[in-house]
Amino acid sequence: MDHTEAIFQLILHGGNARSLAMEAIAFAKNKDMAGAQQALDRAADELTKAHHNQTALIQKEVAGDKLELSMLLIHAQDHLMNAMTIKDLAAEFVEMYGQIHQSKGAGV
């Protein structure tokens, strides 16, 4: 895989993870906790794929195949970090919605 393809894979998998994390929040808001957890799990899988691509780029650079710093690479890294943050926050929202729905069901 060349540098450009690896960079686009970071963007793809980061974007997928972000979308799935937002989907998890929507599922939880609508009391579908199983759907929320499944979306979070899929987001984690997408982040793992992105990390593999990121690691490949780092390994190439360490091996002497220098990667030119470009706006595309910066965008890809920004996309990935944003997705990681949103996924972590989504997990908190899912847990919070679960507690809210549980307390409302208990009549509290």
> What contacts 98, CB < 8 A, 6 or more positions away?
28, 33, 36
**Could you tell me if residue 36 is inside a domain?**
yes
**Cα distance between residue 26 and residue 62, in whole Å:** 41
Cβ burial, residue 32 (10 Å; 0-12/13-18/19+): middle
Q: What are the catalytic residues?
A: 75
**Could you tell me if residue 15 is inside a domain?**
yes
Q: Which of 14-28, 30-44, 62-76 has the lowest mean pLDDT?
A: 62-76
Residue span of the structural domain in which 20 resides: 3-66+73-103
Determine contact, residues 48/87, Cβ cutoff 8 Å.
no
**Cα distance between residue 72 and residue 16, in whole Å:** 17
pTM: 0.90
**Could you tell me if residue 29 is inside a domain?**
yes
CATH code of the domain covering residue 94: 1.20.58.80
**Could you tell me if residue 24 is inside a domain?**
yes
**Could you tell me if residue 108 is inside a domain?**
no
Domain total in the chain = 1
Answer yes or no: is 41 a known binding residue.
no
| pLDDT (0 to 100) of residue 104 | 87
**Could you tell me if residue 37 is inside a domain?**
yes
**Could you tell me if residue 86 is inside a domain?**
yes
Residues 45-92: pLDDT tens digits? 999 999 999 999 999 889 998 888 899 999 999 999 999 999 999 999
Block residue for tokens 């972000």? 18
**Cα distance between residue 25 and residue 32, in whole Å:** 10
